[in-house]
Amino acid sequence: MKILVSACLLGICCRYDGNGSDRPWIRALMDRHTLIPVCPEQLGGLRTPRPPVEWRDGRAMDNQGKDCTDAFCRGAKEALKVAQMYGCELAVLKARSPSCGSGVIYDGSFGGRLAEGYGETARLLREHGIRVIDEEAVRDASDGF
């Protein structure tokens, strides 16, 4: 299966803080599947490192008050383009991220609190029929992938 993956989960240093989020159990999926890494925030034109962003009142705002919504939407569209180009039916994305999070994301307070919601890329992929799960669901899956 071809799986779109948040690039940071493979150890690519594309996170806002300049680090990756290497997850060995995601890397292990490469034994059985073709993983296609993308970082929507970089694809949207944001630099690395960059200030952290959270969704507040429908806008993606960084912690210095800058509105990054356009870049987030651009990155989501580019990630969707890649997923469709490769025929991905599944995306395994980073939990809680304002781009990649699915079901739960940070609540906009920059206080580490969570709220129900989707990152822009997760939302757009789902809207186009691509199944989205986060890396923790893969770790906890009993049926394997």
Applying CB under 6 A, which residues contact ligand SF4?
6-8, 14-15, 39-41, 94, 97, 99-100
Q: How far is the CB of 72 from ligand SF4 (least distance, A)?
A: 9
Q: How far is the CB of 37 from ligand SF4 (least distance, A)?
A: 8
Q: Which two tokens stand for residue 137?
A: 């669901």
User: Of 60 and 145, which CB lies nearer to ligand SF4 in the complex structure?
Assistant: 60
Q: How far is the CB of 121 from ligand SF4 (least distance, A)?
A: 7
Buried b (16+ CB within 10 A) or exposed e, 111-140: eeeeeebbbbbbbbbeeeebebbbbeebee
Interstrand relation of 59-62 and 53-56 (parallel, antiparallel or unpaired): antiparallel
